[in-house]
Structure formats: C-alpha cells, structure tokens
DNA sequence: TTGAGATTGTTTGGATGCGAACAATATAAA
DNA sequence: TTTATATTGTTCGCATCCAAACAATCTCAA
C-alpha cells in the first residue's frame, strides 16, 4: 500500500495504530509493491506505446490474446485476459468500433461467440507488439537474467496459491 | 498476458505470428505474470476479506492510507494509493456516503482538502486490517522468507525504473 | 498592490470493471 | 419427447479509472 514512503516510515508513523497488532510487514510489502508495480507499468504503457493507437491496456491484451489464438471463443479470451465476461463484452464492442476485431456466432454451438482479428488489427499488432515487447525489456532491465526468471516464478506461485 | 496457457504453449501456438519477430519472452513473462498476480490478489481480496464491509480494493487502500497518516491531504493520499486525483474524488465521495471518512477545508490553504477517518472507520480498520494482513500472509505462504524480500525488492526496482 | 503563473480538487466525458439477473441455447435424464 | 438443469454472452446498475478542462486559491515578481 505504501508508495512514496518507505515501509519503515509507514511503520514508524503508524506505530500508534499498528503497534498493538500482530502484523507481518514482509507479506505486506509484497502485496504493496505488487500493486505499485502493476499500476506503474500499466499507466506507463498506456501513456507511451499504446497512446498512439488509442488502445487501453485491457483492449490491447484482449486484441493480443485473440491475435494469438484466433478464431477464439470469448470465454477463452476472458480467461486469458483475466477479466470478467461482462467486461469483455464492453471491450469487444470497443474493438469492433475501431475496426480491429469482429464477432460471429459459432456454427456448432449457438451460445458461443467467436472473435476474429480484422486486417487492420493484424497490421496494427505486427508493429505494435514488438514495440510493446521492447518496453517490457526496458522495464525489467535493472533485474538480472536469473532473477527475472525467479521473479516470474514467484508471481506465478502467488496466482497459483489463490486460484488453486 | 498468458493465463491458463503456459508461455511455452503460447509460444508454440503463436509461432506463425511471432516467429519472424525479435522478442524477449522472459521480459514478457514478467509483465504477464505481474498482472495476472495483481489481478488475482485484488479479486480474491475483494471477494473474501473486503466483501463483508462492502469496500472495494481501492476504497480500502484509500481508507488505510488515511488511517495511517490522518489528517491527510488528498494529494498525499492519491500519491500513496497510486490513483489519480480525479479517481480519488469519487472514492472519497463513496467513503463519505459510507460514513467512514470526512472531508474538510484546510485552514491555512484554501485549495487543500483534508481527510479524516470517522469513528466508524476507526472501528472498522481495527478489525479489518489485521484480517487483511492474515490474507496477505496466506498469499505469499508458498514463497520462502528470503525470496519474499527479494520479490518485494524486484517489484520496487520495476516501479523505480519507470517512475525514475 | 496587482496581475500573471502555479497549484489543487472537482467536473466532464468516456472506457473499463464486476456481480447479478436475464434470454438463448445446449444437454441430460425420465 | 419433454422437462429440468447447465452454460454462454449480454444487459443492467453501480463503482472505479484517467485525461483534460475548469474554478478557486495561492505565490511572487513588478
């Protein structure tokens, strides 16, 4: 939760509030910095790489997942993008308005909706994704190679712990 | 970006799309799992610990920051909570409606708004925050002590790299 | 003292974001 | 065949979330 202030400062300032509680400040530091980092990365990417194309972070992720797996079912896309199906409905409408993707009904199961990337979407991703990846490289450039793998593994462990 | 599928599966499936691109899959795995984890933690906390009190993740963070630093200026709260001032305006309105916090004008600077936690807010945090922390402990329980510190440090490094 | 520029919180407009209710479709057992 | 149950995407209501425009206030130089 802490941002500008260090954990030590927060701990000192919050001493009166927190001193009588039994707390694990290291676990707290993990979740705190997890969100701080995720939020910083997201905002930075939206303001730099994604700004030109007018895509939000979520719209980009949805388009990316569809691009890799197309034709893709919406339930798969929602799962991969870590968003609810209700949210996906809105994002897909946005992508359709932008002419980047289209919806169609499944021929074998009338309940399913199949999503396909439009030519404009393919053209966009062809240049946007490599650029996106270069920013990803930049963001982790202060972390050594072995540590990057360890970092990804620990983040995966957190997700696994929650989702079972 | 990948969720249910492993990076290897995505790489294999996306071979046609990605094979001709020069990509760093390890950097990709970091940002991918960073968001997957942050999203999972947030949703899990909102559905368990926070559900009873009717607080969203953001509302809880804002209340927590105010609780530690009160009386707090809104610009400080927004910075600590990693949200924009526009977002904070809405969240504070929510917290006021719930009777957990109040706004007041600064006596020395008419531009500033000072936020204070109400008695109901104090009472809530007294039990909610320790419970919140117990869930934080649970979430990182599969990661060893030393690794937890390393994890927090690397996440801090990512944020620092972006925010300078 | 005064007026240009800086700072702050709110408003506006638009896009997520989710749970719950819903209608359409599919599946299963009787 | 029929009927109860399950699954899927959308709609609805509401709460974030941000950039940009805005009004109020402060600062500081002339």
pLDDT digits (tens, 9 = 90+) for B91-138: 999 999 999 999 999 999 999 999 999 999 999 999 999 999 999 999
Chain C nucleotides with an atom closer than 7 Å to a protein C-beta: 7-13, 15-20, 24-27
Question: Please, which pLDDT band fits residue B1 given cuts at 50, 70 and 90?
Answer: very low
Tell me which chain A residues have a C-beta less than 8 angstroms from the C-beta of B164. none
Domain match, B74 and B147 both: yes
In a domain, A52, yes or no: no
Distance CA A67, CA B133 (A): 39
pLDDT reading at B2 higher than 60: no
Domain match, A69 and A147 both: yes
Q: Are B66 and B145 in contact (CB under 8 A)?
A: no
Domain match, B28 and B69 both: no
Query: Domain range holding B73?
Result: 55-163
Distance CA B71, CA B82 (A): 19
- CATH number of the domain bearing residue A150: 1.10.10.10
- A72, A76, A78, A84: CA torsion to nearest 10: 130
For B33, the closest of A79, A80, A156 (CB atoms) is: A156
CB contact under 8 A, A28 and B133: yes
CB pairs under 8 A between A and B: 218
Domain match, B2 and B79 both: no
Distance CA B159, CA B155 (A): 6
Domain count, chain B: 2
Tokens representing A81 are 């993008």
In a domain, A53, yes or no: no
CB contact under 8 A, B155 and A1: no
Domain match, B43 and B85 both: no
From the CB of residue A132, how many other CB atoms can be counted at a distance below 10 Å? Answer: 20
Please tell me the predicted confidence (pLDDT) of residue A2.
44
In a domain, A87, yes or no: yes
The alpha helices in chain A, defined as continuous H runs, are 7-13, 15-18, 25-47, 57-69, 74-81, 85-97, 119-139, 145-163
C-alpha distances out from residue B81 to A3, A116, A133, B62, B125, Å: 7, 38, 27, 6, 16
Domain match, B72 and B152 both: yes
Domain match, A29 and A72 both: no
Tens digit of each residue's pLDDT (9 = 90 or more) over A35-71: 999 999 999 999 999 999 999 999 999 999 999 999 9
Domain match, B107 and B132 both: yes
Question: Please, which pLDDT band fits residue B29 given cuts at 50, 70 and 90?
Answer: very high
Which among B48, B143, B56, B35 has a CA at the least distance from the CA of A27?
A: B143
Domain match, B155 and B82 both: yes
Strand C closer than 7 A to residue A145 Cβ: no
- Nearest 5 degrees, angle CA B46-CA B48-CA B51? 60
Domain match, B35 and B90 both: no
Domain match, B149 and B131 both: yes
In a domain, A92, yes or no: yes
Q: Provide the shortest C-alpha distance from residue B89 to chain A (in Å).
A: 18
Domain match, A34 and A80 both: no
Spans of chain A below 70 pLDDT: 1-15
């Amino acid at each position: 939760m802490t941002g500008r202030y260090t954990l030590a400062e927060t701990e000192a300032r919050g001493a009166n509030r927190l001193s009588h509680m039994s707390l694990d400040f290291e676990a707290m530091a993990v979740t705190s910095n997890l969100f701080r980092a995720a939020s910083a990365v997201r905002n930075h990417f939206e303001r730099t790489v994604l700004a030109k194309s007018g895509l939000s972070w979520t719209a980009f992720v949805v388009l990316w997942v569809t691009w890799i797996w197309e034709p893709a079912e919406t339930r798969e896309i929602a799962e991969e993008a870590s968003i609810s199906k209700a949210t996906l409905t809105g994002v897909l409408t946005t992508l359709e308005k932008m002419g980047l993707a289209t919806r169609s009904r499944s021929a074998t199961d009338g309940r399913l909706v199949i999503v396909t990337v439009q030519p404009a979407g393919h053209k966009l991703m062809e240049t946007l994704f490599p650029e996106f990846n270069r920013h990803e490289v930049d963001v982790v450039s202060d972390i050594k190679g072995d540590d990057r793998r360890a970092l990804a593994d620990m983040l995966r462990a957190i997700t696994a712990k929650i989702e079972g």
